[in-house]
Structure formats: C-alpha cells, structure tokens
Amino acid sequence: MQNASPLVGVVMGSSSDWETMKHAADILSEFGVAFEARVVSAHRMPDDMFAYAEAAEGRGLRAIIAGAGGAAHLPGMLAAKTLVPVLGVPVASRHLQGVDSLHSIVQMPKGIPVATFAIGTAGAGNAALFALAMLAQDDAQLRDKLAAYRVRQTEVARAMSKDLI
C-alpha cells in the first residue's frame, strides 16, 4: 500500500534503522493501510525534516511513526513542527542499547508530546498498531481487522501451553 495516498509516515534517522522500523511497515502492510517510508534525519538533513513536518498535515498524513537511535531528536523535532500525532520508536543503539534513544524521545518538555514506545522491534510494531487504533476510530472495517488480530493473537498465546510439560 505504498502507492495510495499515505495515511501514515514511517520515518527514521538512517537507513540503518530500517531493520527495526520495517516491523512497523510490515504491520501497516498487513492491515492494508497506505504508508510511506522515508529517511528524514533531523541532524543530517534538518531542512528536509522541517519540510516533511510542515507538509505532513496537508498531505493527509494522520500519524507519523518516527524511529531514531542515540541522540534521537527526530520524533521531538517533527512533533515541534506539526500537529499530526508523532509516535516515537527508540532504536537500539550500539553502545547504550537504546536506553539513550528512549530517554531522548520520552523526555519531551510539556507542550510538545511524542507518544513513546518500547525500544526496538516490539516498539515499532506497537507504534503501528497504535496508529491503526487511531485510524480505526472512524473506520469500522479497520476496527474489525484490529479485533480479529487480537483474537488470533489470543489463540496463539493459548496454544503455547501445549508445548509445556
């Protein structure tokens, strides 16, 4: 669903974040929600990052999932420049395992919120599920798909017991 007009932007500070962020993209694909994936570094391409944030609402984006590692300023800077909700994903960093990324994203000053998720792939997946839950507020079909996803997940969890003694 990368050709239809995107509803969700999946952005990241570097292509090295894609291993993590593709877990968000995979879930959006699974649910058939149009999205785009872009590298938009606040540090390395600040003007592009500003332009992306400024255009987001007019382009019809309903959520931006932003992943970054280390001094992870991207989600907060995007949030500073747009009213589109920003969902921050701390990417695991080489030396500090993403605790630095988490703290960078979660410690926003009052007034500019970033919804912050867990470090790594679980956070990326949950950010996508959260974006879907927001979109499902006015999309009954999507709501049904989310409900079915939960049912399947429960079945998988229940089946786990059979492998135990």
Ligand X SMILES: Nc1c(C(=O)O)ncn1[C@@H]1O[C@H](COP(=O)(O)O)[C@@H](O)[C@H]1O
Annotated binding site for substrate: 14, 17, 44
Question: Within positions 42 to 61, which residues make up the interface with ligand X, using CB under 6 A?
Answer: 42-44
User: Would you say 46 or 60 has its CB closer to ligand X?
Assistant: 46
**Do residues 38 and 30 lie in contact, with contact meaning Cβ atoms separated by under 8 Å?**
no
According to the binding rule CB under 6 A, does residue 80 interact with ligand X? no
CB-nearer residue toward ligand X: 6 or 13: 13
Site for ligand X in 106-165 (CB under 6 A): none
State the binding site: 14, 17, 44
Selected range binding ligand X among 11-19, 57-65, 129-137, 148-156, rule: CB under 6 A:
11-19
Report the 10 Å Cβ neighbour count for 152.
9
**Residue 97 in the binding site for ligand X (CB under 6 A):** no
Q: Give the residue with the Cβ less far from ligand X, 31 or 52.
A: 52
61-91 burial string, b = 16+ CB within 10 Å, else e?
bbbbbbbbbbebbbbbbbbbbbebbbbbbbb
**Which ranges of the chain does DSSP label H, i.e. alpha helix?**
18-30, 46-56, 74-81, 99-106, 121-136, 140-159
